[in-house]
Each structure stands twice: as C-alpha cells, then as structure tokens.
Amino acid sequence: MDILLASTSPRRYEILRNHGVHPLVCPPRVDEDLPADVESSGPEHIVKYLARKKALDVYVRVGRYRDAFGPHCDSSKRSGLGEYPSSISTQEYLPPILIAADTVVWCDGLIGKPRDEDDAFRMLASYRNRSHEVWSGVTAIDRTTGMEDTFAVCTRVAMGDYTDEEITSYIRRDKPFDKSGSYAIQSDWGKHVTSVDGGIENVMGFPWPDIKEHLIPLVKAAAREILPARTGEWASLMSLKPKEISVGNARKRWGSCKADGGIRYTWRIMLGDDDLVDYLVVHELAHLRHMNHSGKFWSLVESYLPDCKECRKKLRALYTEIENEGWN
C-alpha cells in the first residue's frame, strides 16, 4: 500500500515500512505554535490540533487525487526517506491516502522536544519512579473525497529508578534532541521502563494498530472512487464496455466478472501498489472477451500488461501480507 506521509520522522517511516506500507514523504511546512485555548485544553486536543494542521498543510499543497493508469511514481521516491520538490505537480502520482501525526509527552504538563542537554536532563529526571503519558494525534485524509479522520491515542509508561549519571550518559551518547520527551523507548533507555499500558508503537510516535483501524473506512471510500474510474480508463483503451462496476468486502477473491458484463472488486486491492490495481482491472476486463483463463485470455492480458506474470506473484504475496496484518 502506498501512503502519502506528511512527516520527516524516520521512525514513522520505518514503522510503516515494517508493516508493508510504502510511504511517499511530503514534509509539512507548519510551525507548532499553539493557540492559547488549545495549549490549555490538554494533551489530546494538542496532538489532534497539530496532526490536523500538518495534514491540511500538505493536502492544500498537493490537492485532490488525480487518477490515471500507467507508470505513476518515480521508483527512487519509494526507496527511502526523501523530500518532494518545493512545488509538487498535481499531475504527478501521489497516493490517495494522506497521513500526518504528532506525538507529545505529558507529565505534570506538556513536554515537547528538549532545547539542550539541561532541558533533556530535566525531562528524564522527572520520569523517575513514576508514570507519564505519551499522546499521539493522527489525521488521515482520503484525497479522492476529502473525507478525513482525526483521533488521538494515549499510552501510559512507567519508569523505575536510575541515577543522574545514567541520564547524562544517555543524553551524551544518543543525543535525543529530536524526540518528544527526550527518549526513544526502542533505544537503550528502554531498559528503565517498568511497564507500558497501551501500544508501544504509539510511544515510538506512530500507533499503527489504531491507524490501521481508522484507515479502513478511508481506503474503502477511495476504492469506490478510484476503481470505477480506473476501469473506465482501461475499458476505453481496450475497446470494451463493462456494465455496473461495484466494490465489495470479499476476502478470498480480488474481483469477479459476471456474464452480463458487471465487474466487482474487493476494496482490499487498494492495499496493493498501483501496478496491482491496474493488473486486477485489466484481468477482469479481459473476461468480457474470454470468460475463462485460456491461452487467449492470458495473451490479451499480457498484450496490455507485459509484466502480468510478475503481478500475479505480487498479488499472491499481497494476500499473505493482508492476512498477516489483519486487514479486516
């Protein structure tokens, strides 16, 4: 699945990659100043405000989703964390789903990123032998419809005892100045954590299980817009005229073509990359001429998608990924 990630955080990027998601990075250009009413409203409102501010900044800059089949994305932008040009062409392929996030620590008040070593020391010392909260706000937007969802997740983290020397050693070794709360739970500092009540990925800055749950309605909405449009484009190219195009919830079948010319897809194909969407569309359209998987059928598919055999392998791999990740 491709996602437009409104963040420069390597940790968020890696969390997505570890879950089989391919982030295309577009950094937000916003300050993180808080209006007085938001700053005084507590951590949940703060992280939701900042996440939405970041998401809307990118959404306004890149615009609505432009759907067109064929080669979409420069492969170099899939390979690592990068920044788009200052002016993003809306004709360039950008994924339909956009995500932004913000994470803060709350311990007797808001704790952000440390200014210097002294500030980091103060933060880490304040957690000693007590609990604090890590809050993440997330905004997800479906760029095909403008539908958005903003929510917050909280994890309570308890830490044990440690010395001032251990704090100083960690700060000088890991230099946690880019981290809210001055620590990364996945680093050596994690040995001081005695309990975690909630998602550990939230403490890392990106609560993927919660995000995935909120993404499903947006992915379904994107599928209902994109798949009929993509089918129409390919049908025109292939000189075919399908009837009703619908999107369902099937788990065992990617798509089907009825004898009357109706085509039905499962929304889960949107979890694959763009090439797999095109492959499924061409596959089902080819059944309008050959209602079987004969040699003529595969020749027709291959005439439009020369890499169709590779796509079939990727589709099988995607099914396994979806089952493992629990996209229900």
* pLDDT reading at 68 higher than 80: no
Q: What is the pLDDT of residue 67?
A: 54
State both tokens at 13. 């990027």
Task: Say yes or no: domain 2-206 is CATH 3.90.950.10.
Answer: yes
Closest listed residue to residue 127, CA positions, set 155, 160, 103: 160
Tell me the CATH number for domain 214-325. Answer: 3.30.2010.10
Which is the catalytic residue, given 2, 67, 102, 142? 102
Average pLDDT over residues 316-324: 92
What residues have CB less than 8 Å from 122, skipping those under 6 apart? Answer: none
The alpha carbon of 182 is separated from its chain's Cα centroid by a whole number of angstroms, namely 25
Task: State pLDDT tens for residues 89-117.
Answer: 444 678 999 999 999 999 999 998 999 99
| pTM for the predicted model, two decimal places | 0.86
Q: What is the residue whose two structure tokens read 């993509």?
A: 230
Domain residue ranges in the chain: 2-206, 214-325
Q: Report the alpha-carbon angle 138-144-150, nearest 5.
A: 15
Q: Are 223 and 272 in contact (CB under 8 A)?
A: no
**Predicted local distance difference test score (pLDDT) of residue 58:** 94
Q: What is the pLDDT of residue 71?
A: 37
Q: Could you read off the pLDDT of 172-206 as tens digits, one per residue?
A: 999 999 898 999 999 999 999 999 999 999 999 99
Task: Tell me which residue of 24, 9, 8 sits closest to 62, measured CA to CA.
Answer: 24
d(CA 180, CA 9): 12
First to last CA, the chain: 15
Assess contact for 257 and 238: CB atoms under 8 A. no
The question of whether 102 is a catalytic residue gets the answer yes
Q: Do domains 2-206 and 214-325 have the same CATH topology?
A: no
